[in-house]
Chains A and B, each alone.
Chain A
Amino acid sequence: MIRLLFIALLLSFQPVSAQRELDIEFDQDELKDRYEINVLRFYLMSLQFHVSGCEWYAEENSVHLIDLEDASSWKIQLPKEFGKSSIDSISFLIGVDSTTNVAGILDGDLDPIKGMYWAWNSGYINFKVEGKKLDSETKFEYHLGGYLPPFSTARRVSLARNPQKKRMTLRLELKQFLDELDMKELTEVMIPGEEAVLLSDQLSNRFSFD
């Protein structure tokens, strides 16, 4: 009897911090003097984590819509298995893979109602940013997507970090991404094609992991 009680106590004192989180952020402060951001929404899919000395671990049903308008979407709860184990690398897809793009109608984060779906050219928009460049008042809208070769745009990114650090943060350097664009020439991308490919390549270099 006493032994049972002891076990029960042990179980209930499991530290809550065993659940790990991945924070996602972007350089809001750094860019705010230069850009006004009205829409920022993108998919992260097929997350995989590398635990020191172990195999890659793939999150199940791994689809996350990250949305400026939804603060809770910037935090991803990791599966219990991770406990305190030290994660030293992450790998993820920016955007939606081609299998999902041809799978028909889906719910949850992939519901077309989320405004990340092109109906006339069926397929997901992987990444959407809309706003204004403040000095020149230039408005921009970049909707990056398309899964058909040769213009497929989902990009896999793998990044390493220092496994000793407690918090885990995936950061999008949006200012760098926008600075790199020639907003005199290109203020809009709304369809799949060469431009979407080019911008998706550039975007894939603008994430860091810590």
Chain B
Amino acid sequence: MSSEQHLQISEWPKPVYNFEQNPITEDGFQLGRKLFYDPMLSRDNTISCANCHLQFTGFTHVDHAVSHGIEGRKGTRNSPVLINLAWNSSFHWDGGVNHLDVQAINPIQHPAEMDNSLSNVLEYVNDSKEYRSAFFTVFGDSIATSSSLMRAISQFTVSLVSSNSKYDQYQRGEVDFSNQEKRGLKLFEKHCNSCHTAPLFNSNEYASNGLPIDTAYNDLGRYGISKVGSDSLKFRIPTLRNIEHTYPYMHDGRFKKLREVVQYYAEELDREAPYLSEKLKTEMKLSDNHQKDLIAFLCTLTDRSFLYNRRFGFPN
């Protein structure tokens, strides 16, 4: 089975991730999984990737507006979901990370996350008999390098594919939608799909959806990376798959409930907000009932076979 077939889903665009550089194997996936759930990767051995990326919530940090790292240190952003990463062309809320294989350097080094160094982590895995034999199996060399370490982690995270929600089953003609869900789908197509584009329900683009700047962090989003003025307050357009379970919402986790998000788009969004995307400049006119329909549709993006897949959970 070639790795590309493994992630090729009919009707979906081709993945962005280059599987030729890092062919996915079962052993590689299992090695990545072990690393993902291993708290020894953090400086004080308390925090694994899974602390901030919990499976049952689409691999985000549930209930935390901004992520918490070692010694309870707070970050400045909400941990994003890890879903269908193979189709992302950039990572982080500001798109500052340009390749999945270099993303994990961030949490490992970040003082408010794992506060460790790549060399310490390499020393740790190279001191472990178990890891040495796993690295040998996967990469033909028992000594892990930055490259094999990062690619091993990617083998796991790139495999976190969610494509079996009620919405997908409806598309495949396996189940029917309720009338409310159908109405919600229509509204979604009209108001949201231009940015949160099916079937991935994201875009590899940056936009402002009009949120006022968060006063705690003054996060200017994409501008922080590009230093281009017109990129101010723009963030990556995130996927809405499994959105029912990935609260709180937005880069700073300012909304706790999906109802609040929909109400924001329908009633609170300031159409004159600076940098606001053209796509959001016209009033949506969504009644209470419309809003309920939209939420009913968003809930069809929940994929229980993903959230509860034992393969993605803590390794046995």
Contact = CB atoms under 8 A, between A and B. Distances in A.
Contacts of A101: 98
B221 to A, nearest CB: 13
6 contacts: A102-B98, A104-B100, A106-B147, A120-B92, A120-B97, A193-B227
Q: Which 7 A-B pairs have the closest CB atoms?
A: A104-B101, A119-B105, A105-B101, A104-B99, A122-B98, A105-B150, A193-B227
Among A107, A119, A150, chain B packs the most CB atoms within 10 A around the CB of A119
Nearest to B108: A119
Contact of A105 (B119, B122, B151): B151
Nearest to A148: B226
B145 A121 contact: no
Contact of B146 (A111, A121, A150, A193): A111
* A interface secondary structure, majority: loop
Nearest to A111: B146
Contact of A122 (B99, B226, B228): B99
Contacts, number: 61
Interface of B: 18, 21-22, 92, 96-102, 105-106, 109, 118-119, 122, 145-147, 150-151, 225-228
A113 to B, nearest CB: 5
A186 to B, nearest CB: 16
A120 to B, nearest CB: 5
Nearest to A122: B98
A192 interface: yes
A112 interface: yes
A191 B227 CA distance: 10
Interface residues of A, number: 23
A151 B18 CA distance: 26
B98 A120 contact: no
Contacts of B102: 104-105, 112, 117, 119, 122
Given A105-B146, A113-B119, A113-B146, A120 B21 contact: no
Interface of B, helix, strand, loop or mixed by DSSP:
helix
A193 to B, nearest CB: 4
Nearest to B99: A104
A145 B54 CA distance: 35
A184 to B, nearest CB: 23
Contacts of A122: 96-99, 102
B118 A121 contact: no
Contact of A121 (B21, B96, B100): B96
A123 interface: yes
Given A111-B147, A121-B96, A122-B99, 15 more contacts: A104-B18, A104-B99, A107-B146, A112-B102, A112-B105, A112-B118, A112-B146, A113-B122, A119-B109, A121-B225, A122-B96, A148-B225, A150-B228, A151-B227, A194-B227
Interface in A88-122: 101-107, 111-113, 117, 119-122
B99 A120 contact: no
A135 B122 CA distance: 42
A113 B122 CA distance: 10
A113 B98 contact: no
A114 to B, nearest CB: 9
A65 to B, nearest CB: 14
Contacts of B119: 113
Interface string A7-32: 00000000000000000000000000
Given A111-B145, A112-B102, A112-B146, A104 B21 contact: yes
Contact of A113 (B92, B118, B151): B118
B149 to A, nearest CB: 8
B191 to A, nearest CB: 32
Contact of B98 (A112, A123, A193, A194): A123
